Amino acid sequence: MPSMKPACLLIISFTIWLIVPHLCLASVQAMFGTTPNIKHIVIGRCFTYTTLVQTGSRYDCEEIWKQFEKAVVQRSSCNVTEEHYFKMFNMMPQIWPCDRFLFWSKTRMLVHSYAAVFRHFWTLEDTLVGYLFNDLIWCGQEEDSDFDFNYCPAWSTCRTHPVYSLWKHASKNFAEMACGNITVLLNGSIVNAFNRKSMFGSVELDSLNPQRVNYVNIKVVTNPEGPHIESCSRGSVVELIQILCSRGFRWTCTDNDLTLVILQCIQDLNQPSCKMLANSLLQQKDLTTT
């Protein structure tokens, strides 16, 4: 191990700062029961994963399902802990190569297009457990040996929610494995881009190991239409950097990374800031070709 102490360097690159009117979309959260056909979905995804995604990986899909079911059913819908899933997790050990770990918070859409373009990045949703349970809802019921397909409580209503406990354990495992350079994508269009209550802030950050992680490369991205609330030097991101420093991590922080801005603009070329970006890229091209 190198004897040098990690330097807490301030490497902030500002790219594009455009202030455009703020658009506010209200989202309505509906309440559902367990996802219909969950058994077929999970077992099907498991076979897809072992056959097509990670070809040649050996996992016992039927047994994983059995252990999952055992953890959840015949327990009240707010009474499933991480421990209940241990047997299931033991059946799906996984190791990732370093320098590929991608963490995110409140940037769900963007992070998945980013990972789709840069295929070497891995998010939690690329691990077997993440792949199997992504977007699903489930809960059991005390007096019945089946899932409750009518109603599941919201995550926030209890500390031992079956969905929360599974993701908490999966996130912890993922962060503990992280090594080399890791990337964290945060949303600069919201207050508390770094939120101590989010999965990243409450579970993953604490599970990262400074002995295994070389650099934490933070990228703060705002929506092309704004608002521009937080950045590497403003708001909760500063707090994240302080925590990283105090735990001995090396880090970098980038505001509006050009690649990420372009990815966002592909989805909405009519944004004024995207038009300006396109024009400036074209001008640069003109300068280099003439």
The catalytic site residues sit at: 98, 179
Q: With contacts defined by CB under 6 A, name the span among 107-115, 148-156, 265-273, 277-285 that binds ligand NAG.
A: 107-115
Residue type for 184, please?
Answer: V
Q: With contacts defined by CB under 6 A, name the span among 64-72, 164-172, 187-195, 226-234 that binds ligand NAG.
A: 187-195
Would you say 49 or 215 has its CB closer to ligand NAG? 215
48 near ligand NAG (CB under 6 A): no
24 contact partners, CB below 8 Å, separation of at least 6: none
Would you say 9 or 278 has its CB closer to ligand NAG? 9
221 near ligand NAG (CB under 6 A): yes
Structure tokens at 200: 């990243």
Of the candidates 151, 155, 132, which has an alpha carbon nearest to the alpha carbon of residue 65? 132
Would you say 89 or 215 has its CB closer to ligand NAG? 215
Give the SS3 label for residue 56.
coil
256 near ligand NAG (CB under 6 A): no
> Site mask, ligand NAG, residues 54-93, x = CB under 6 A?
----------------------x--x--------------
Rounded to a whole number, what is the distance in angstroms from the first to the last CA of the chain? Answer: 51
190 near ligand NAG (CB under 6 A): yes
* Contact in structure between 223 and 186 (CB atoms under 8 Å): no
50 near ligand NAG (CB under 6 A): no
181 near ligand NAG (CB under 6 A): yes
272 contact partners, CB below 8 Å, separation of at least 6: 18, 20
Over the Cα atoms of the chain, what is R_g? 21
The dihedral of CA 208, 210, 211, 214: what is its sign? positive
Structure tokens at 215: 């650099």
110 near ligand NAG (CB under 6 A): yes
- Binding interface with ligand NAG (CB under 6 A): 76, 79, 99, 106-107, 109-110, 142, 181, 187, 189-190, 214-215, 217, 221, 223, 252
